[in-house]
Amino acid sequence: MFHLSEERQILITQKIMATLDEWGLCAADQVTVLNLPEGTRTRKLRAYHVDTPLPKDDNVEFRVLRILGIIDALRTTYPKNERMGAHWMKKPHRRFKNCPPLQILVEGGNTGVDSVLAELDCSYAWELSAVTPKSSTKKE
């Protein structure tokens, strides 16, 4: 995300912040889900809604890319009703031990974010489960 223009970064940041609001996450949970640097005050989130891109940090970028994937997967899963995505995020899910995906995002760290994206996007799930072959050793 950091190789994009600042204008594009701001638009992406605004999209993510609007979505986190739509999902009903409180400010403290938004800080957690975005993996913002320790000590980030929740009042800083207002700037991200308006005209400031998210910080240039590898941990934040990891989360941003997955959240964008979740947003896109929800859009393609529910193409005719945008509100269904937010509903899905709040509804208990059997694959998450009857926890809502939002809870997994907040409490599960990077693994939680990966799990939610993998549940929505089968190609991402396949990519996560792909095993890289070990180099073969021949006995001579």
Q: What is the DSSP letter of 131?
A: P
At residue 4 the predicted structure's pLDDT band, cuts being 50, 70 and 90, is: confident
Q: Is the pLDDT of residue 136 over 90?
A: no
Whole-number Å distance between alpha carbons of 66 and 139: 43
The pLDDT tens digits for 49-64 are: 999 999 999 999 999 9
Top-confidence residue, 125 or 135:
125
Q: Is the pLDDT of residue 124 over 90?
A: no
Q: What pTM did the predictor assign?
A: 0.85
Task: Indicate if the alpha-carbon torsion angle 12, 66, 121, 84 is positive or negative.
Answer: negative
At residue 122 the predicted structure's pLDDT band, cuts being 50, 70 and 90, is: confident
Of all residues in the chain, what percent carry a pLDDT higher than 90? 76
Whole-number Å distance between alpha carbons of 26 and 103: 12
Residue 3: what pLDDT?
80
Of all residues in the chain, what percent carry a pLDDT higher than 70? 88
